Amino acid sequence: MLRNVGALLTDARWTGISGIATLLSLVVAVVALAVTVVPAPSLFGQRPRMAIAPVAGAGEPAVHLSDLRSRATWTSGAGAIPFADNQERGILSHECEKLEDGGRHCGFLTHPSYVDGAPRFIRGCFDLPRPIAAADRFRTTIGFPHWVRAGAGTFRVDVQARRGTTTTTTTVAEKPDARTDGKLHQIDAPLAAHAGSQVVCLQVDAAGADDAAFWVDPRVERP
């Protein structure tokens, strides 16, 4: 068909305004024949519409742990705690906060319990809405609120595998941090070894005088 169009273009008859107009009409007709439109099934007598196929390989949305915060299991050195502010057993909140880098970020603010002698940690475990896939990665940014002056601690990410009555916990990322560096830090952990698991836990072990810590948008991403 394209060879025929080429022959038309070189034909000496298509000269002058009328010849060019006739040639353009022929080209439009040829192009119209070359385009195939697959109509979607009509519904209740509606006219057929062009069917748009989904893009193959499009990634699924990330699982943002902030969306699961109220259903997560939270514990501290003083025992189980609800997700709420100003708890003696630990502080948990989801907010947007100015952090040590001077920028405003949204995520989890955590603070371990105020109970004397209790271990200085706070931990949340999240049941994901879908099993981890081999290509998944856990990503977040960690740091401290700008008003913290002597904060320090270790941020840890665990994955739990449940098989029957047995639960196995594996640490996939562990990052010590101190407020004195004035920087936020990235955590980017591959989860291929944990495909099929469906629980992710976040924990901060406090080591400073100011124990408030911040997780920026912790999430499980799927390409």
pLDDT tens readout for residues 87-103: 667 777 888 999 999 99
CB 190 within 8 A of CB 153: no
Q: What is the pLDDT of residues 210-221, one digit of tens each?
A: 789 999 999 999
pLDDT of residue 87: 66
> Mean pLDDT over all residues of the chain?
79
What H or E segment, with its residue span, contains residue 21? Answer: helix 16-34
pLDDT of residue 10: 52
Residue with tokens 């999430």: 219
Residue 206 has pLDDT above 50, yes or no: yes
Q: Which of 53-67, 104-118, 126-140 has the lowest mean pLDDT?
A: 53-67
Residue 9 has pLDDT above 50, yes or no: no
What structural domains does the chain harbor?
Answer: 1-53 (no CATH), 63-221 (2.60.120.200)
Q: 117: pLDDT confidence band, cut at 50, 70 and 90?
A: confident
DSSP 5: H
Mean pLDDT computed over 187-213: 93
